[in-house]
Amino acid sequence: MKGQELDIEQYRLTEEPFYEEVNGEIGLVTIASKSKMPVMLKGPTGCGKTRFVQHMAYKLGRPLITVACHEDLTASDLVGRYLLKGEETVWVDGPLTLGVKHGAIVYLDEIVEARKDTTVIVHPLSDDRRFLPIEKRGQMIEAVDDFMLVISYNPGYQSVLKELKQSTKQRFMAIEFTYPPADIEMRIIEKEAKVTKEIAQKLVKLGDKVRNLRNHGLEEGVSTRLLIYAGTLIQQGVPSEKACEAAVIRPITDDPDMHRSIQELVKAIF
């Protein structure tokens, strides 16, 4: 039985991802990385958590392995498994094992979506032991110094059944993310969607008005990501009302009354 190594260099970012700091988070994570401290990012969908992790991976010069967690994610998906290659049985490292061995940042996105028996596997990596048990091979792998574990979740979105356990939460330094302040969000949209300052300002204003509707039946506010999508459509020549319907209104609501309310906001702003 052989082991098969994946090339860690394929996970290294070659260009710096654009990111605007909001509240000292770059300094915090830089210190956490030096202190071998695991990090938890909390905040709504599309507010910049993943882009921040990409930015930090580039800034720290480390490969970034991202795992989008889901309810069928198993411990083997993270750690690795034996596979048949021709007539041989070959061990293939999973993303977590790869990161532990080669000093990558492993980012478990929306960790609460994974099964609870899967999330337990990160416990010995997120305290001072910093090792990963590989039961199928009877091994304990100690994390190299540059390995860093980052998890994220959306605390306002999960049901009680999918809440992150206290035994997991209390192993991490936590940073709260929210939608950026208006001036920063405007610069982000202007840069990412390549739109004028005026269009970016209008989209930020729309975002603010829509987020205020959360108290009136809207489940979740519009993300910065969706505002960038709307800006991109406008920049490509799509009329602003049509762009906002496709990128803002339809993704966030199926309710006809709410749909009409946001349409009126779009007309008033644009």
Any idea what the CATH number is for the domain that residue 61 is in? Answer: 3.40.50.300
What is the domain range of residue 201? 182-269
Q: Is pTM beyond 0.85 here? A: yes
Domain boundary pick from 123, 152, 176? 176
The answer on 167 and 40 residing in a single domain is yes
Chain centre distance of CA 15: 18
The answer on 191 and 160 residing in a single domain is no
The answer on 154 and 199 residing in a single domain is no
Domain count, the chain: 2
The answer on 222 and 106 residing in a single domain is no
Query: How many CB atoms are closer than 10 A to CB 50?
Result: 20
Strand partners, 208: none
pLDDT tens column, 148-172:
999 998 886 554 456 778 888 899 9
Domain boundary pick from 115, 141, 176? 176
> What pLDDT does residue 116 have?
78
d(CA 242, CA 237): 10
> What pLDDT does residue 162 have?
66
Q: How big is the CA angle at 177 (ends 226 and 27), to the nearest 5 degrees? A: 120
The answer on 148 and 202 residing in a single domain is no
115 and 25 Cβ atoms separated by less than 8 Å: no
> What pLDDT does residue 120 have?
85
The answer on 253 and 209 residing in a single domain is yes
> What pLDDT does residue 160 have?
47
The answer on 66 and 150 residing in a single domain is yes
The answer on 242 and 163 residing in a single domain is no
> What pLDDT does residue 2 have?
47
The answer on 163 and 186 residing in a single domain is no
The answer on 78 and 123 residing in a single domain is yes
φ, ψ of residue 207 to 5 degrees: the values are -55, -45
Domain boundary pick from 176, 198, 228? 176
The answer on 123 and 17 residing in a single domain is yes
222 and 231 Cβ atoms separated by less than 8 Å: no
d(CA 164, CA 264): 38
- Distance (Å) of CA 33 to CA 57, 63, 188, 191, 208: 10, 13, 26, 28, 34
Listed as ranges, residues in the chain with pLDDT below 50 are 1-2, 159-160
Buried b (16+ CB within 10 A) or exposed e, 20-43: bebeebeeebeebbeeebbbbbbb
116 and 159 Cβ atoms separated by less than 8 Å: no
The answer on 162 and 119 residing in a single domain is yes
| Residue linked to tokens 């590989």 | 134
Chain centre distance of CA 150: 9
